[in-house]
Amino acid sequence: MTEKEDNIKEQDNEQEQENEDLKVVMPDAEWTTMPDEEFDEQPDYLKVFTDFYIAKFNQRDLEIMNMYDVNSNMVDINHYVIDNINFGRRELIKHALQYHANNFQSIVDEIVKQDKVEPEKMTSYKDWNNWYENRRDNISTSLS
């Protein structure tokens, strides 16, 4: 080898060494996944009531329900529903019950107390809607 070739080879080696020193080594990504959320089992009547409540919320028709909210449970529920409105309906019901089952139960308990409703017999949206409309029809109106 000629001196020129030796110099070129030496420069290449030095450049390679510099590149090795400056080389950024990226660690392998460690993927972790969150475990699926476990939901508490709720009574069927509470699931149906929650579905009914969220439907009335979406229709902006909670005036009658407000009569049964003695502890401001609706504030907590409505705030949660607004914050999580992008959930599908079934997911929203599950999640709302996960965090606010006691709020929904308090409203149902007050309905039972005031109207003598048997929530276990309210097995469909239609049952709750019929109760709601009957309750609306029985509100006395005033002309004064």
65-91 burial code (b ≥16 CB/10 A, e <16): beebbeeebbeebbebbeeeeeeeeee
Q: Which of 3 and 96 is assigned the larger pLDDT?
A: 96
- Calpha distance 46→122 (Å, rounded): 9
46-101 pLDDT tens trace: 999 999 999 999 999 999 999 999 899 999 999 999 999 999 999 999 999 999 99
Q: Is the pTM of this model over 0.75?
A: no
9-49 pLDDT tens trace: 776 766 666 666 666 777 788 888 878 878 889 999 999 99
- Calpha distance 94→87 (Å, rounded): 10
Q: Residue 50, exposed/middle/buried by CB under 10 A (0-12, 13-18, 19+)?
A: buried
34: left (phi over 0), alpha (psi -120 to 50) or beta: beta
